[in-house]
């Protein structure tokens, strides 16, 4: 090793050693590994002063945009770098019979309207009526009546309710699965939309000539006693952005069809005077480890 390489390695070793007294073994492991990989990155690309400053400025800008409650730019940054999906995959159960997981996304909120089974989460959201139904069961095939389900999506213009103001809640709801293990609700047909690109993350995508579109999808968060809470989306077959999702969230098993119907009587007996769609998707929850 050259004198310069010895100096660089000694610095890295000193920083790693500075965390030796961290009381939490897990925190010590995380911090020392972070330092090791961060220093490896800097030495690998031979990071310049100007590049270091540009990186600091970029993260500062991300933090400034992160302040409003409707916009979590750091989550967005994690998403477009694939870190969010990598974390999902690292912590997911082994691929098998359970529904696969994907990213939570930056637009989940806690104050979610409750609807009855078969109710409507639309609440004024723009879009074509869409009837969504399916079952919730365990990997052993047992139906899970009473499972808690939260669903949310963007409207036909590609906006979530939080984009319209803190008090506006639409295309978002929570319900309980029926005694027969089935769920059903009305919403609007999911639409593709761009991730927020007017901030530093959008500038990063533009500079690197990456796409900023997400394919149309519907978010799910499903939980039942004794089972892992599932966070996932379903995606619509034929969407042009399926192969280029800006946040790498698409999985083949989560792609399903939306069937178009003419005006008439829907599966639940509702009479519609306009065309509508139906989506059927079954949820399978993994057991709690």
Residue 213 in tokens: 């579109």
Domain ranges of the chain: 3-78, 91-285
pTM for the structure as a whole: 0.88
Which one, of 102, 104, 84, 73, lies nearest residue 197 by Cα? 73
Q: What local confidence, expressed as pLDDT, does residue 180 receive?
A: 95
Q: What local confidence, expressed as pLDDT, does residue 68 receive?
A: 60
Alpha helices in the chain (DSSP H): 3-17, 25-45, 49-65, 73-80, 83-91, 200-207
Q: Burial code of 40-54, b = ≥16 C-beta within 10 A, e = fewer?
A: eebeeeeeeeeeeee
Q: How many helices (H) and strands (E) does the chain have?
A: 6, 14
Cα separations (Å) of 134 from 175, 178, 188, 281, 282?
13, 11, 16, 5, 5
Task: Determine the angle formed by the axes of helices 83-91 and 73-80, rounding to 10 degrees.
Answer: 80
Alpha carbons 131 and 281: distance in angstroms, whole number? 11
- For every residue of 25-46, DSSP letters joined together read HHHHHHHHHHHHHHHHHHHHHT
**261: number of Cβ within 10 Å:** 15
Q: Which residue ranges of the chain lie beneath pLDDT 50?
A: none
Q: What local confidence, expressed as pLDDT, does residue 288 receive?
A: 92
Q: What is the rounded radius of gyration, in angstroms, for the C-alpha atoms of the chain? A: 23
Q: What is the largest CA-CA distance in the chain?
A: 80
Fold of the domain spanning 91-285: Protocatechuate 3,4-Dioxygenase, subunit A (2.60.130)
SS (H, E, C) 241-261: CHHHCCCCCCCHHHEECEEEE
């Amino acid at each position: 090793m050259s004198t310069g390489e010895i100096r660089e390695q000694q610095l890295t070793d000193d920083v790693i050693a500075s965390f030796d007294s961290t009381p939490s073994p897990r925190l010590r492991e995380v911090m020392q590994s972070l330092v090791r990989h961060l220093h490896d990155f800097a030495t690998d690309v031979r990071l310049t002063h100007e590049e270091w400053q540009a990186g600091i400025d970029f993260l500062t800008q991300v933090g400034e945009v992160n302040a409003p409650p409707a916009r979590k730019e750091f989550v967005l940054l994690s998403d477009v770098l694939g870190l969010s999906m990598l974390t999902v995959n690292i912590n997911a159960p082994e691929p098998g019979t359970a529904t696969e997981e994907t990213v939570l996304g930056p637009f989940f909120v806690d104050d979610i309207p409750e609807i009855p089974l078969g109710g409507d989460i639309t609440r004024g959201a723009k879009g074509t009526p869409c009837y969504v139904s399916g079952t919730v069961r365990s990997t052993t095939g047992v139906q899970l009546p009473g499972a808690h389900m939260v669903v949310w999506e963007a409207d036909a213009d590609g906006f979530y309710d939080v984009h319209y103001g803190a008090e506006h809640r639409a295309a978002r709801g929570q319900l309980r699965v029926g005694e027969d293990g089935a769920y059903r609700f009305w919403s609007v047909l999911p639409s593709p939309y761009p991730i927020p690109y007017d901030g530093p993350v959008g500038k990063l995508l533009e500079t690197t000539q990456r796409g900023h579109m997400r394919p149309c999808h519907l978010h799910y968060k499903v939980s039942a006693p004794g089972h892992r809470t599932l966070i996932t989306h379903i995606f619509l077959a034929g969407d042009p952005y399926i192969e280029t999702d800006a946040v790498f969230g698409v999985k083949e098993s989560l792609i399903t069809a939306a069937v178009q119907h003419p005006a008439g009587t829907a599966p639940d007996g509702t009479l519609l005077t306009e065309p509508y769609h139906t989506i059927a998707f079954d949820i399978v929850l993994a057991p709690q480890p």
